[in-house]
Amino acid sequence: MGILTDSYKASHYLQYPACREMVAYGEFRCGFDKDTEDTRMVVYGIRYLLETYLLRQWTSDDVEKAANFYSTHKAPGCTAFPFPKDLFLSFVEQHNGYFPVKLQALPEGTCVHAHVPVYQITASNEYAPLCTFLEVILTMIWYPTTVATLSRRGRNIIEAAFERSADAGAASPLLPSRLHDFGFRGCCTVEQSVIGGAAHLLNFEGTDTLSAAYYVQFELNGGEPVGTSIPATEHSVMTAWHTEKAAIENMIDQFGDGLFACVMDSYDYMRALSEVLPSVAEKKVGKGGFMVLRPDSGDPVEAVLAALKAAENVFGVDVNAKGYKVPRGAGVIQGDGINLTSLSQILAAVLDAGYSAEAVAFGMGGGLLQKVNRDTMSFATKLSHVVYADGTEADIMKSPTGDTSKISFPGALAVKRVDGVPTIFPAEGGHVPDEENLLQTLYDCGPLQRDWPLFKDLKQRIAREWAALPKTANVISRPLAEKIQNFKQHRQH
């Protein structure tokens, strides 16, 4: 833990004024991709960070190794790089090696708006200067939260299309499979695939990221399956056979009585749809299963429409009660170039062409697990309150005149639902009873007994909370607003 931070953090214990207590909090400062019309997000990932990193016990040997490292970690001409060795040795002895802070956080899966604190760190007594030492590790909650929010927004788009064009609407049993995680191979590390893949599974069932599906099933869901997939070809399979027809016929032989997918553009996509697909139709229909056509290049909208038209020509369609066409025993999955924009564009074109959204699924790879960063929802951790060595207290607030989007909140904070909306209050003043504070204590200078919900129950709660939350809301309570105004009027520069 001593080296799982930024270099300059190790020197901050010498830079802070002498304090008895310090408080800091973390927040997302904007909606997904700077969206101001929908600032909702799904907060997720604190359990993984807690269990993987914060619950790691330090030993005196660890401290000595860290101290040795810092002694060499210096630019030419500098003195030895500072490291709070004595403080670390102290908590090894006093707290059995657990890092000496209190961590409060929103319950996993809580749906909130931008600016609502997702965690709060308090450090007291001799350990007060270590308050922000864990910022780097805890800030990494930005990743699973951003992926979970992206995935949920994708579900919004698909649900709207299902409501319009599928008989069962958004309640269709097909919908949970309609955004499939193709992102494993695009991740930087296996750990990223586990964390991001799990965040996606909060909203959908479809995944090829086995690392996440396995982890969620056995670590978070009591062994009950969460992620599903189907047999599917890749280009190497299709090109290994003498002909595409032979490759597809093998798939029919192997999996034709169930669901299977074939990539169709290894050579000539349009020819595969107009000539190869009709040539295997009788064999496919005879097996009675469901064939998914997968384009993997070209314009995504045109590729999907071409596959739907081919499926209609070869297998026929049924018209559902809402007047939309559903190909018989066949569908399409578009897994190339999918993001929220292209997802909307494809579904709009599919419905305009008279097909139901239930005829199309999507695979999202890099766009789901890779093309996000800390700035996507602008996550930051900021100091908010100190108690100085002489017992005087001060609220801390960052308020740069050059960028008002980066202001922070003063004082220790609490979060309470007001008309269903998680809202920020000052922690003092009796505004929020402990039992109503959504910032729950998960760790206090060591582990606390806690029963985590099963993943399947978490999914259900997220769906309810997301649907009930307005797209935007004022999350600053009147007492906090008054405190901010008072701070701006009286704080000396």
Amino acid identity at 380: A
pLDDT tens-digit map of 409-449: 999 999 999 999 999 999 999 999 999 999 999 999 999 99
Q: Could you tell me which of 152, 153, 141, 110 has the C-alpha nearest to residue 380? A: 141
Predicted pLDDT at 63: 95
Strand partners for 325: 319, 355
For residue 203, pLDDT over 80 is answered with yes
Alpha carbon distance 275, 243 (integer Å): 12
pLDDT tens-digit map of 87-136: 999 999 999 999 999 999 999 999 999 999 999 999 999 999 999 999 99
Alpha carbon distance 208, 404 (integer Å): 42
DSSP characters for 118-173?
Answer: SEEEEEEGGGGGGTTTTHHHHHTTHHHHHHHHHHHHHHHHHHHHHHHHSTTGGG-T
Higher pLDDT, 195 or 74: 195
In the block, tokens 């690392």 appear at 211
DSSP characters for 448-475?
Answer: ----PPPHHHHHHHHHHHHHHS-SS---
Alpha carbon distance 476, 206 (integer Å): 37
Q: Which residues contact 291 (CB under 8 A, 6 or more apart)?
A: 252, 256, 260, 261, 262, 284, 329, 330, 331
Interhelix angle for 142-165 vs 190-201, to 10°?
40
For residue 456, pLDDT over 60 is answered with yes
For residue 77, pLDDT over 90 is answered with no
* Long-range CB contacts for residues 85-94, cutoff 8 Å, separation at least 24: 87/13, 87/126, 87/127, 87/129, 87/130, 88/2, 88/58, 88/63, 89/60, 89/63, 90/126, 90/127, 91/58, 91/127, 91/445, 92/58, 92/59, 92/60, 92/62, 92/63
What tokens were used for 261? 């997918």
Phi, psi of 271 (to 5 degrees): -65, -40
pTM: 0.96
Amino acid identity at 289: G
Alpha carbon distance 375, 380 (integer Å): 9
Phi, psi of 335 (to 5 degrees): -120, 10
Instruction: Give the pLDDT mean for 320-325.
Output: 98
Predicted pLDDT at 466: 98
Strand partners for 333: 361
Query: Mean pLDDT lowest for which of 32-46, 70-84, 216-230, 273-287?
Result: 70-84
For residue 406, pLDDT over 90 is answered with no
Length of the chain: 493
Rounded to a whole number of angstroms, the CA Rg of the chain reads 27
pLDDT tens-digit map of 132-172: 999 999 999 999 999 999 999 999 999 999 999 999 999 99
For residue 401, pLDDT over 80 is answered with no
Percent pLDDT > 90 in the chain is 93
318 DSSP assignment: E
pLDDT tens-digit map of 352-397: 999 999 999 999 999 999 999 999 999 999 999 999 999 999 999 9
Instruction: Give the pLDDT mean for 287-294.
Output: 98
pLDDT tens-digit map of 255-290: 999 999 999 999 999 999 999 999 999 999 999 999
Q: Which residues contact 107 (CB under 8 A, 6 or more apart)?
A: 438, 440
The domains located in the chain, with CATH, are 7-140+389-490 (3.20.140.10), 146-369 (3.20.20.70)
Residue 2 to residues 17, 64, 97, 446, Cα–Cα distance (Å) = 21, 10, 12, 16
What tokens were used for 456? 């399947």
Task: pLDDT band for 400, please (50, 70, 90 cuts).
Answer: confident
Alpha carbon distance 433, 439 (integer Å): 11
For residue 493, pLDDT over 60 is answered with no
Alpha carbon distance 399, 391 (integer Å): 25
